């Protein structure tokens, strides 16, 4: 009699009974060739846990058979020898990897196993410690993916193994464990209805399932979908869950509709939306996993036929873009359908830089035409004027473009004039006038004689009014505001409504937006007429004059000269274009300066540092060149552009098939980049300070753009610490006691830090804007003591109603008190 556990004794007793009726199966070498030829063999790799009854789970019996490989955890690494032998014998067509919840592998640390073995046999410690026991399974999903990846890459596994349902392509195919939730849904539903009702419901289910099945198995049209059963388990499950959800809707609706015609109508109205979402989700999944070298980007799934993603994009484009990018890897573009238009959002450093490098095949004209048409009030006249010119903004016309006279090439004329007047001596003239004008505006707001504290109901409102007046007087001369006393107030009301105008909201639904826009156009026309009465822009005596009081800067006179010969140019359109220039000159830099001051003043240590830097570099009069060279002031300015700026940089292909990597973009379709999302890419941006403190990408960090030569981990770009330790990053030596001066280094994050756009369409006013920012910070902090009076618990946030249109100012009024500083 055999001694042992009772279970073993029971098993041997049962074996005796089994032997009495045992009939030998066919010989292995007879069966193996048939399995090899049929390709119908299946291997199941699973855990040795006795609770996992493979035969019960899959209904295996004497007819439906599979080779079962079992080990602790069901891990592929331990099963490779068995897999190789079984493949040699029978060439099974599929491998099923099945792990399970509450597996011992999720509870036990390999180190504990080694420890127990060493205690049992201390003399074998070296052998035990050198033995590999795998690693703890923290996630069943991840462990299945790891094993699938190992099987796919192992030289011991036949790489022709595949599932017929997912055919066509090279590489192994592996299925995923059956989902109990999926099975349960259909099991329960079968008990809810009669046979005839259930048959009717099955029709809808089978139609959707057939769509999925046939899409995956059509060989000629989809030759590249060979492997995603194993690689994309979660995505496939999401598709199946969507089908199950749709099936739920049909099932419940069918049941209810038998009793009420109104519910029948409701079900009929819901089904198209559900089906649209399922189909677009499936198409998106297929496109994202297409491995072709010339493929279209996946779409963002939508439920509303024809309109697509339009409503989600219009009403909360920040959330919509964030969710769209979250569906795929960073380097996969995402296509939106906005009614009859298609937009493709690209992301990631390589894609953004590739777009900028391809400027000769792209233009930014479409968004400018929309702005001129609606946002600036040019209507159809502006479109006709700009649409006539397809020669591009370079001096040499684009190949195949219309043979226009130079005087009709409005894109080139605007590009040339703006760039020529915002660099070199003309820039110095405008910047110096801005400093002078802002000083005067601040002295007027709070006179030098005012030594007591002054309550300011809206600190940011003060920044808006003084900065706008200073910049307008510097660029356009004093008469524009003198002739239109409400211009300052009208402009900021106009800026508040700018999203409605860019989004083409009809006048009926946004009357205030159109009214204030029209007032601005009328104000500029009045100024144009007044300036023309006093100055002849073609007067030779004005050649080389950088500024005069009626037109202001030379740039404004040059624009008048440029527009004289342009076909279809009218006085109304010229006024609209200058409204656009006024908006571009103020809408971004003013809120940027506002945030610079707010973030400095809410951090006492930073305020002390900034004031010390300003007083050292620019004592008395503003020394612009010294301020522009300040690493900390530049870093503050850049950080606000990173953190508060939300623009969609837009380009349109002007060739038939434009490609970036494997992705193709049709001629005329918009390509967009979100500066907001690129500035929050945690895979790119550094979040570690020199003191080891973390600075999240969603937070302001004054030193984010500073590189210290003795700290290779500093700077805006995330650096792999492991590479630094291995010598992958150079470290400059600094003598003992010597300070490590920082360097302002925005170039480290090229392609991610894109507040001005890029390539030949980069913002021409960026140099002037930076000088405005330096002057704004310097004058406010040098002239005043400022105490912000925030309500307890208030967190200052950007006004996301402006999202997508540049730098967003703070939301809500900010109370403060100010007084003149005593300068000794």
Read off the pLDDT of residues 18-73 as tens digits, 9 standing for 90 and up.
778 877 777 777 777 777 777 678 888 999 888 888 888 888 877 788 889 999 88
Closest by CA to 301, choosing from 323, 271, 332, 318, is 323
Q: What is the pLDDT of residue 316?
A: 87
Strand partners of residue 670: 343
CB atoms within 10 A of CB 327: 16
Q: What is the pLDDT of residue 125?
A: 82
Q: What is the pLDDT of residue 1?
A: 53
Q: What is the pLDDT of residue 200?
A: 47
Q: What is the pLDDT of residue 599?
A: 98
Q: What is the pLDDT of residue 253?
A: 55
Q: What is the pLDDT of residue 325?
A: 87
Q: What is the pLDDT of residue 260?
A: 59
The Cα 369–Cα 216 span in angstroms is 43
β-pairing verdict for 816-820 and 784-788: antiparallel
Rounded to 5 degrees, φ, ψ at 493 are -70, -40
Contact 173, 226 (CB under 8 A): yes
Closest by CA to 97, choosing from 186, 187, 172, 28, is 172
The Cα 182–Cα 205 span in angstroms is 13
Q: What is the pLDDT of residue 182?
A: 32
Q: Where do the DSSP E strands lie in 602-754?
A: 645-653, 657-660, 663-666, 670-674, 706-708, 742-744
Name the CA dihedral angle for 764, 770, 772, 776, rounded to a multiple of 10 degrees.
160
Q: What is the pLDDT of residue 171?
A: 33
The DSSP-derived string for 724-779 is: HHTT-S------TT----EEE-GGGGTTT--TT--GGGS-TTHHHHHHHHHHHHHH
Closest by CA to 644, choosing from 600, 696, 700, 717, is 700
Q: Using 70 as the pLDDT threshold, list the residues of the chain that sit under it.
A: 1-4, 39, 159-264, 267, 380, 722-739, 823-824
Q: What is the pLDDT of residue 225?
A: 41
Identify the residue whose tokens are 């527009």: 563
Q: What is the pLDDT of residue 267?
A: 66
Structure tokens of 128? Answer: 């035990």
Q: What is the pLDDT of residue 248?
A: 53
Q: For CA atoms 435, 437, 440, 441, give the dihedral sign.
A: negative
């Amino acid at each position: 009699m055999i001694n042992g556990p009772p279970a073993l004794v029971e098993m041997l007793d049962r074996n005796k009974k089994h032997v009495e009726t045992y009939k030998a199966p066919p010989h292995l070498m007879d069966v193996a060739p048939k399995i090899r030829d049929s390709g119908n063999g299946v291997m199941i790799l699973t855990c040795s846990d006795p609770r996992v009854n493979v035969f019960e789970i899959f209904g295996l019996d004497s007819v439906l058979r599979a080779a079962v490989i079992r080990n602790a955890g069901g891990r592929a690494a331990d099963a490779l020898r068995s897999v190789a032998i079984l493949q040699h014998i029978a060439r099974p067509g599929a491998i099923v990897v099945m792990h399970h919840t509450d597996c011992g592998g999720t509870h036990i640390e390999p180190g504990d196993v080694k420890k127990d073995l060493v205690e049992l046999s201390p003399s074998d410690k070296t052998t035990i410690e050198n033995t590999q026991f795998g690693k703890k399974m923290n996630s069943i999903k991840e462990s299945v993916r790891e094993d699938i990846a190992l099987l796919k890459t192992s030289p011991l596994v036949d790489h022709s193994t595949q599932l017929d349902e997912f055919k066509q392509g090279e590489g192994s195919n592996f299925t995923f464990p059956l989902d109990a939730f999926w099975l349960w849904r259909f099991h329960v539903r079968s008990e809810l209805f009669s046979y005839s009702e259930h048959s009717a419901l099955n029709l809808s289910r089978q139609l959707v399932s057939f769509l999925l099945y046939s899409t995956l198995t059509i060989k000629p049209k989809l030759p590249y979908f060979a492997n995603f059963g194993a690689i994309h388990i979660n995505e496939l499950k999401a598709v199946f869950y969507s089908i199950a959800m749709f099936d739920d809707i049909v099932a419940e609706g069918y049941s209810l509709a038998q009793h009420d015609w109104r519910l029948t109508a409701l079900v009929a109205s819901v089904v198209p939306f559900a089906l649209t979402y399922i189909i677009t989700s499936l198409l998106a999944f297929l496109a994202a996993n297409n491995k072709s070298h010339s493929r279209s980007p996946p779409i963002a799934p939508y439920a509303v036929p024809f309109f697509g993603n339009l409503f989600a994009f219009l009403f909360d484009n920040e959330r919509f873009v964030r969710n769209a990018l979250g569906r795929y890897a960073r380097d996969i573009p995402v296509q939106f359908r906005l009614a009859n238009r298609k937009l493709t959002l690209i992301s990631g450093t390589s894609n953004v830089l590739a777009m900028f490098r391809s400027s000769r095949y792209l233009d930014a004209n479409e968004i400018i035409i929309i702005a001129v048409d609606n946002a600036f009030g040019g209507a159809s006249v502006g479109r006709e004027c700009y649409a006539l010119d397809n020669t591009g903004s370079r001096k040499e016309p684009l190949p195949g473009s219309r043979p226009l006279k130079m005087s009709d090439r409005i894109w080139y004329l605007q590009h040339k004039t703006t760039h020529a007047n915002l660099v070199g001596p003309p820039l110095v003239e405008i910047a110096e006038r801005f400093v002078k004008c802002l000083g005067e505006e601040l002295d007027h707001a709070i006179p030098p004689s005012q030594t007591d504290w002054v309550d300011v109901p809206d600190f940011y409102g003060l920044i808006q009014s003084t900065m706008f007046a200073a910049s307008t007087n510097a660029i356009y001369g004093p008469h524009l505001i003198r002739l239109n006393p409400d211009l300052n107030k009208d402009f900021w009301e106009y800026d508040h409504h700018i999203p409605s105008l860019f989004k083409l909201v009809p006048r009926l639904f946004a009357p205030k937006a159109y009214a204030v826009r029209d007032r601005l156009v009328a104000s500029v026309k009045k100024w144009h007429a007044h300036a023309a009465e006093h100055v002849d822009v073609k007067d030779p005596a004005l050649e080389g004059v950088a500024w005069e009081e009626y037109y202001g800067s030379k740039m404004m006179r040059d624009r008048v000269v440029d527009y004289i010969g342009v076909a279809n140019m009218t006085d109304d359109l010229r006024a609209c274009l200058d409204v656009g220039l006024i908006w571009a000159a103020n809408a971004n830099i003013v809120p940027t300066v506002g945030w610079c001051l707010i973030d400095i003043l809410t951090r006492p240590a930073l305020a002390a540092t900034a004031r010390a830097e300003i007083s050292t570099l620019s004592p008395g009069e503003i020394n612009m060149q010294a301020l522009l060279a300040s690493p900390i002031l530049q870093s503050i300015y850049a950080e606000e552009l990173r953190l508060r700026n939300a623009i969609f940089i837009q380009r349109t292909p002007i060739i038939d098939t434009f490609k970036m990597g494997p992705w193709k973009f049709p001629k005329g379709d918009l390509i967009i980049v979100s500066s907001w999302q690129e500035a929050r890419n945690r895979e790119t941006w550094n979040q570690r300070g020199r003191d080891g403190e973390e600075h999240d990408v969603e937070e302001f960090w004054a030193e984010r753009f500073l590189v210290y030569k003795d700290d290779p981990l500093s700077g805006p770009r995330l650096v792999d610490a492991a590479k630094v330790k291995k010598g992958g990053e150079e470290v400059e030596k600094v003598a003992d006691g010597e300070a490590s001066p920082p360097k302002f280094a925005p170039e480290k994050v090229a392609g991610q830090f894109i507040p001005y756009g890029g390539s030949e369409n980069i913002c021409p006013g960026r140099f002037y804007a930076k000088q405005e920012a330096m002057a704004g910070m310097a004058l406010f902090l040098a002239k005043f003591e400022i105490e912000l009076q925030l309500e307890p618990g208030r967190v200052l946030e950007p006004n996301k109603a402006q999202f997508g249109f540049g730098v967003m100012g703070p939301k809500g009024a900010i109370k403060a008190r100010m007084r003149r500083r005593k300068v000794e």
